[in-house]
Structure 1
Amino acid sequence: MKVKRYLVNDMSEAMIKIKNELGMDAVILNTRKIKTGGFLGLFKKTVLEVVAAIDEPVLPKKTRQVSENNSRPEHVQPVKEPVVVNSEMMELKKMVQILIEKVDHIEHTERAVQVDSEPAKESVYIDYLKEKDIQESIAKKIMEIVQRQISINEKNHESILNAMKVIAREYLGEVKTIDRDLPGNPGIYLFLGPTGVGKTTTLAKIAARLTLVENKSIGLITADTYRIAAVEQLKTYSEILGIPLEVIYEASELESALYKFKDKDYVLIDTAGRSHKSKELQSDFDELMQFIDHATIFLVMSMTTGFKDMKNIIDSYKFLEEYRLLFTKLDEATAYGNILNLKVLTGKPLSYVTTGQSVPDDIEEADREKIIQIIFDEA
């Protein structure tokens, strides 16, 4: 009795293989669908298992009798041994059924182990997100949602990775830039943030973009008179772009500066960069806001700053009710998870990102798709 097991896509494929290999007299003993292949339960494929058998004929036995006077062999007619096909088939079916039950038990045990190992696999992906500079608490939130959204049968590396990207993209939320805002009378924008994050250069880039691309009329005001270099830098940009600039040394001078720009589309105000540990942060802000009816605030953060310091900076500006996140120096960063971290931490909208020192080129809208690509190293 010859028995063979076939793994095929369908019965027609099985029939062709069985006929070619076992012949027309073969008998199919069992068929069932199983999953095969994969690693740690991932990438498994459903196939059809077919067990077939054929009764092998008894081959003739040759005996030779050599006479004393003649050395030529003499052939004896083959003797057919009795074969009880039906009983053998029944016995074979029982054996196959026992084997199938054992295999089912093994596969059930493997599936139980895979289910038990789900936390271990989740831990692997949490570590993967942490390598992207995404905070552990946020990584866990993402994976909790992934576990709820993807069924066990659908879980593989590709589906998990895609789900993580979708969730991260949703966390990034709506992007708010100046050109998307409704027209103001004029629209007033304050740029806040610690020393060295690139507020002045960033403000100049946005001013150039609004002037050259959007064809808007702009007025610039700087209150950053603590650094002479910052004032001179903004003067140079204003002269090149043909944008008027007002320098104020006291908060009270802001009122007259704003009056001069009452007919402009937008007024951009550069503020003094202070350490986030400074006690004057709120008092400086409150003094300026005495002379402004309403302003949109950009909190400028450098991507070269670690998360712990970023969090401290955010905490130091907790007196702000509303603001937009603006990230600079992406070209100098090695990981980009902090964009997602700060978005989740603050709940504030993203606005712009800067990617170099060139004015006006190295600034762009904080596009969610691009951010996902750079976070997951796909840019």
Structure 2
Amino acid sequence: MKIKRYVVREMQEAIRLIKQDLGPEAVIVSSYRVPSKGLAGFFTPRLLEVTAALDEPHEINLRLKRAPAQLTAAAGNTAGRQTHPAAPLPLKQQGHGGRTLYLTGGGHGAKQQGNPVNGRPAVEPGANADTGVRFVQPGHERGNLFEMIVNKEIGASRGEDLVINWREALLKMDVDENIVDSLLSDLGSESSQPGAESENAYLHIKRQIIRLLEPAYIQAPKARVLTFVGPTGVGKTTTLAKLATKLSLDEQKKIALVAVQTYRLGAMEQLQVYGDFLGIPVEVVMTPAELGRVLENHADKDYILVDTAGRSARNNGQLLELKSFLNAVGEPQDIFLVLSLTTKNRDLNKIVYEFQRIKCSKIIFTKLDETETFGSVLNVVNNYGMPVAYLADGQGIPDCISEAKPRSIAELLFRGVDPDETMAT
């Protein structure tokens, strides 16, 4: 059996190619509309994928011990005594699974026109010209076998395409290749109804992502001191202001703001504006000892949010200086590593790796509104085991920030992804 697939614009083109390649006996077993590759696929008409199959029956030639000449003689003797051709004699052949082989009239050298009856030749159509033996396969068995083989081939091909297309989609989301392989390891193992493959695959991958993230989200008591660290330009101060507004206005918590001021100019003024707006105290510290005293002075506060200057992950001196401030906190604290989703995957891994020296406990991703791919969120959690606490997607205070959970991260990854567009078979 030959099975071949064509991707064309119209069905007429597919029919022409099928006849050209497989002949007029081929049958169309499936056809689907598929999107074009890349971003252009969202703006161009869908292509048509057509799968055709050609059943190739196999003749079984049976070598008889009886010589062809003897068959001819026997046929000649019989022809003189009969007005009709002899009925085929069933010959059971154990070597062919108990199926029936039919010995028909006519042998080596027999003429096709010998005693035709009702226009039928003495040698049955499909019989071997030399031995007169042909294999007759029951029609219903042949049809079932053909259908079974086609369904098996199409199902296997569809499953392979499903994995290939979702693998390509996840890689385009910037998900690490090893994570993609893990998510797709058993895709397609569950049976599904035709036409539901894309939706089932989407739900399956989403569940796998949630399971992958859950170990990092083991519940731990929230600390009173919330410290924000990270590279320059990722939005630490703005993120702090968003959370401070939520805690103060929405949750009615008593809070204080602290700015670690070592070399950054203008940070104090920005933080003071937020403090004046919320009516909360703002402190500035220059040394680790000052930070310790300020925390003691605000022992009555529910939360103290500490803003720090941006540090380069490549500057060991700056990281050690930051660590000295964090060590001055004499109580449990949540250290939020603030990262921008516009940063390249490789650079993100480097930043998280280097900031592990100061024992960051949670991650905040900012600038979701400035990118179209969110695989980095999954990569960081999987590679370093730290949960993502918040996701910030704009400059609005306090609306443009939300708490992150495994389910919300899984939904974020598939933002704007249509399962039917991803499914190409």
**Quick check: TM above 0.5?**
yes
For 2:210 and 2:183, locate their aligned partners in 1 and report how far apart those are by CA, in whole Å: 11
User: 1:326: how far off?
Assistant: 0.7
> Which amino acid is 1:265 matched to?
D
Kept after mapping to 2: 8 A contact 1:276/1:316? yes
TM-score by length of 2: 0.61
Kept after mapping to 1: 8 A contact 2:163/2:187? no
Greater CA drift, 351-360 or 188-197: 351-360
- What's the counterpart of residue 104 of structure 1? 144
- Of 153, 160, 163 in structure 2, the residue corresponding to residue 113 of structure 1 is 153
Structure 1 residues 281 and 227: CA distance shift in structure 2, 3 A: closer
Identity of aligned residues (%): 32
- What's the counterpart of residue 286 of structure 1? 323
Structure 1 residues 211 and 134: CA distance shift in structure 2, 3 A: same
Kept after mapping to 1: 8 A contact 2:192/2:200? no
User: 1:133: how far off?
Assistant: 2.1
- Of 382, 407, 413 in structure 2, the residue corresponding to residue 375 of structure 1 is 413
User: 1:378: how far off?
Assistant: 4.2
For 1:101 and 1:183, locate their aligned partners in 2 and report how far apart those are by CA, in whole Å: 69
For 1:174 and 1:209, locate their aligned partners in 2 and report how far apart those are by CA, in whole Å: 27
Q: Note the aligned Cα RMSD (angstroms).
A: 3.0
Matched residue SS, 1:262: coil
- Of 205, 216, 233 in structure 2, the residue corresponding to residue 196 of structure 1 is 233
User: 1:101: how far off?
Assistant: 2.0
1:142 maps onto 2:183 in alignment: yes
Kept after mapping to 2: 8 A contact 1:175/1:367? no
For 2:216 and 2:244, locate their aligned partners in 1 and report how far apart those are by CA, in whole Å: 19
Structure 1 residues 153 and 176: CA distance shift in structure 2, 3 A: closer
User: 1:161: how far off?
Assistant: 1.4
Matched residue SS, 1:335: coil
- What's the counterpart of residue 289 of structure 2? 252
Structure 1 residues 283 and 103: CA distance shift in structure 2, 3 A: same
Post-superposition CA distance 1:194-235 (Å, at most 9, x none):
000000110111111100011111111111442222221111
- Of 123, 126, 130 in structure 1, the residue corresponding to residue 167 of structure 2 is 126
For 1:233 and 1:107, locate their aligned partners in 2 and report how far apart those are by CA, in whole Å: 72
User: 1:292: how far off?
Assistant: 1.3
User: 1:331: how far off?
Assistant: 1.2
Kept after mapping to 2: 8 A contact 1:195/1:274? yes
Matched residue SS, 1:144: coil
Structure 1 residues 290 and 325: CA distance shift in structure 2, 3 A: closer
Mind listing any 5+ residue stretches in structure 2 that lack a counterpart?
Answer: 1-28, 34-135, 418-425
For 1:375 and 1:174, locate their aligned partners in 2 and report how far apart those are by CA, in whole Å: 18
Structure 1 residues 183 and 349: CA distance shift in structure 2, 3 A: closer
1:316 maps onto 2:354 in alignment: yes
- Of 396, 401, 406 in structure 2, the residue corresponding to residue 358 of structure 1 is 396
For 1:191 and 1:347, locate their aligned partners in 2 and report how far apart those are by CA, in whole Å: 19
- What's the counterpart of residue 368 of structure 2? 330
Kept after mapping to 2: 8 A contact 1:220/1:268? yes
User: 1:131: how far off?
Assistant: 1.8
Mind listing any 5+ residue stretches in structure 1 that lack a counterpart?
Answer: 1-35, 41-95
Kept after mapping to 2: 8 A contact 1:189/1:298? yes
User: 1:299: how far off?
Assistant: 0.8
- What's the counterpart of residue 91 of structure 1? none
For 1:268 and 1:110, locate their aligned partners in 2 and report how far apart those are by CA, in whole Å: 65
> Which amino acid is 1:324 matched to?
K
- What's the counterpart of residue 345 of structure 1? 383
Post-superposition CA distance 1:226-276 (Å, at most 9, x none):
222222111111111111111111222111111111111111111120111
- Of 287, 293, 304 in structure 2, the residue corresponding to residue 267 of structure 1 is 304
For 1:232 and 1:322, locate their aligned partners in 2 and report how far apart those are by CA, in whole Å: 27
Post-superposition CA distance 1:76-100 (Å, at most 9, x none):
xxxxxxxxxxxxxxxxxxxx97222
Greater CA drift, 314-323 or 303-312: 314-323
Kept after mapping to 2: 8 A contact 1:218/1:265? yes
- Of 196, 202, 207 in structure 2, the residue corresponding to residue 161 of structure 1 is 202
- What's the counterpart of residue 232 of structure 1? 269
User: 1:367: how far off?
Assistant: 4.5
For 1:190 and 1:103, locate their aligned partners in 2 and report how far apart those are by CA, in whole Å: 71
Kept after mapping to 2: 8 A contact 1:176/1:324? no
For 1:264 and 1:363, locate their aligned partners in 2 and report how far apart those are by CA, in whole Å: 23
Matched residue SS, 1:146: coil
Kept after mapping to 2: 8 A contact 1:277/1:316? yes
Kept after mapping to 2: 8 A contact 1:224/1:273? no
User: 1:119: how far off?
Assistant: 4.3
Post-superposition CA distance 1:267-314 (Å, at most 9, x none):
111112011111124412331133212211111111111111111111
Structure 1 residues 287 and 320: CA distance shift in structure 2, 3 A: closer
TM-score by length of 1: 0.68
Structure 1 residues 290 and 318: CA distance shift in structure 2, 3 A: closer
Kept after mapping to 2: 8 A contact 1:211/1:217? yes
Kept after mapping to 1: 8 A contact 2:260/2:307? yes
Kept after mapping to 1: 8 A contact 2:340/2:365? yes
For 2:327 and 2:184, locate their aligned partners in 1 and report how far apart those are by CA, in whole Å: 46
For 1:182 and 1:164, locate their aligned partners in 2 and report how far apart those are by CA, in whole Å: 30
Kept after mapping to 2: 8 A contact 1:174/1:350? no
User: 1:152: how far off?
Assistant: 7.2
